[in-house]
Amino acid sequence: MGMSAGVVVLLGVFALCHAEANELNYDEALLTVNNYLLHPITLLYMSDYCYKCLLQPLMSLPAAQSLQPANHTVTITTQFALTFHVFKEDGNEEPVCSWEQLYEEHGHYIISVQPSNGTVQCYNLVRRSPSNSLMPLLVALVCLLCIWALYYLTTYIFRLACTHKFLEELKKKTCCDFHNEPDESVVQSQSADTPKHRRLLSLDTFRGFSLTIMVFVNYGGGGYWFFQHAPWNGLTVADLVMPWFVFIIGTSVALAFSSMLKKGIYRSQLVRKLTWRTCVLMAIGVFFLNFGPADGPLSWHWARIPGVLQRLGFTYFVLAFMHTFFSKPNLEEAESHQRSAAVRDIVMYWPEWIIIAALETLSLCLTFLLPVPGCPTGYLGPGGIGDFGLYPNCTGGAAGYIDKWLFGQNHIYNHPTCKELYKTTQPFDPEGILGTINSVVMAFFGLQAGKIILIYRKSPHKILCRFFIWSILLGITSAILTKCTRDEGFIPINKNLWSLSFITTLSCFSFLLLGLMFYVIDVRRWWGGQPFIYPGMNSIFVYVGHSLLASYFPFNWEVKNWTSHYEFLAQDLLGTSIWVFVSYLLYRKKFFLKI
């Protein structure tokens, strides 16, 4: 809530920090190449984030004339390090010189290709110093920390006895009959002490934290590449949030079903409830969030069928339907048995483990054994210019093939994250069928976290220990699958494919983060979860609302300054803060949208 209150301050600071306008946009630099050779040259390049990619042409320069070099200037990206090769246009396949460098934003760099003692040397000079692209983030971070500190300082002051005494005296003097609402943190603390509520605040905070980051990255993330999805393999901030949501779904299912069964709700009623919720989620995803005003009237000739809510709905249905038949209404008895106590949370639910193992086996078999026409079996690459251009139409391998066969090319996502970097031409849907199987597995790890909380709820240190053990086991699994590399492992971390290493890595992070929040919020009660707990308790409202209104003011406006991240970051922080503030108002009004 304090974050949203200070957005106006952020806008003012950004205006003061506005960089001098030039011809470059953010994440761009100028590169000038001078050719002093008596031969024409060609300059090729490749991004280091592009795995096994074909070299791409950047420029060609004629030979130097009368000691006057031929030169040309181009705009290059500063997001990733680039590798350059200079070739003579005489049929020689070996480059005369090469270099790799991460160029910085708004810099102007000069490369002089010169003969030197029978060889060729490439000299690198800086004509104009670059600007610091991270400065807007630093300014925003300092402002938000100051606002947050001011908010908690104000809250602390109003909780002091002398402040209450002063307000009471002021009330008597003015004879005003105003209503002094109790401090929000005190109310939460009191409600936490009340046995009948027992709501796991850390889970709501975790959900709200994930949702807040999701809104920010969906609105653009200030234009920073690490707030966008990874082009193919690897992880960025944007790749974290949806798996966290899936994990939270599993934890929520465990807690909610245990509570409902204790109240005497029949399992048949649970099936009807989860079926209804699934249908509503998938309907919202298909008919509302896939389309916007700019898309025009809905047409089934190009309508995208998969989507985020569709995947969440299907994942919830499979997991909840399975857990309906194997959930335990009363876990106190399980806690009393000492036999196999170390693995009681696994042994008690052995049928679920068999089902999940079967689903993961099916996913791996389809991924690595399904024949895909024109592609190698088990291909996990992005196609395009990746793998040296050998498989340009094999984007996603079996995952892409299944989606195109089942839905058709016109009904899946046509702008995958690999399209720009890897020059792909094939559609690929990151919320496709094969990845949804692993989404269920990810949710099952969240379900396991919920079971641990239920079984060991009388011993918080046991919950924390088991969370830590699970995170270690999953982290080791990820290290083996990836060989601790981005691209060279058996199964690389890939959000587009929802690979096995992706779900083990994100499940590891989820156990650690939920465990930390559980300790700080529910055990020690050092923090009430503000402001993230507010969107966490109205997640459907915030998610649907931010998606539908993303293109409208004040969430979006025409940006005047494209030369830096300042205005983009201010715009995206403002949009995110508005939704946090709206969720706070709904919390105060006790309005919670549920399906």
Confidence of residue 511 (pLDDT cuts 50, 70, 90): very high
| Cβ count near 370 (within 10 Å) | 16
For the cut 90, the answer to whether the pLDDT of residue 199 exceeds it is: no
Q: What is the mean pLDDT of residues 220-230?
A: 91
For the cut 80, the answer to whether the pLDDT of residue 382 exceeds it is: yes
Q: What is the pLDDT of residues 410-458, one digit of tens each?
A: 889 989 999 999 999 999 999 999 999 999 999 999 999 999 999 888 8
What integer pLDDT is reported at residue 400 of this predicted model? Answer: 94
Q: What is the mean pLDDT of residues 270-284?
A: 91
For the cut 50, the answer to whether the pLDDT of residue 12 exceeds it is: no
Where residue 459 falls (left for φ over 0; alpha for ψ -120 to 50; beta otherwise) is beta
- Select from 386, 370, 355 the least CA-distant residue to 492: 386
Write the DSSP assignment of 249-265 as a string of letters. Answer: HHHHHHHHHHHHHHTT-
Q: Name the phi and psi angles at 117, rounded to 5.
A: 55, 50
Instruction: Compute CA distances 220 → 2, 229, 534, 569, 589, whole Å.
Output: 22, 11, 22, 8, 30
What integer pLDDT is reported at residue 294 of this predicted model? Answer: 57
Helix or strand run (H / E) with residue 108: strand 108-116
Q: What is the mean pLDDT of residues 164-183?
A: 58
Beta bridge partners of 101: 82
Tokens of 210: 């994930």
- Select from 430, 364, 56, 391 the least CA-distant residue to 232: 430
Mean pLDDT value across the chain: 85
- Select from 284, 440, 310 the least CA-distant residue to 363: 440
pLDDT over 70, % of the chain: 87
Q: How far is the C-alpha of 184 from the C-alpha of 164, rounded, in Å?
A: 15
Confidence of residue 152 (pLDDT cuts 50, 70, 90): confident
Q: Which domains does the chain carry?
A: 2-17+135-187 (no CATH), 28-128 (2.60.40.4150), 188-296+307-335+343-551 (no CATH)
For the cut 60, the answer to whether the pLDDT of residue 592 exceeds it is: yes
What integer pLDDT is reported at residue 176 of this predicted model? Answer: 43
Cis peptide bond prior to 554, omega within 30° of 0 = yes
| Cβ count near 167 (within 10 Å) | 13
Q: What is the pLDDT of residues 90-126, one digit of tens each?
A: 767 788 899 999 999 999 999 999 988 878 889 999 9
Classified as helix, coil or strand, 210 is helix
Cis peptide bond prior to 531, omega within 30° of 0 = yes
Write the DSSP assignment of 267-307 as a string of letters. Answer: HHHHHHHHHHHHHHHHHHIIIIIT--GGG-S--TTT-----
Q: How far is the C-alpha of 414 from the C-alpha of 426, rounded, in Å?
A: 7
- Indicate which residues carry an active-site annotation: 229
Higher pLDDT, 298 or 223: 223
CB 565 within 8 A of CB 10: no
Q: What is the mean pLDDT of residues 234-255?
A: 94
Tokens of 457: 């709820």
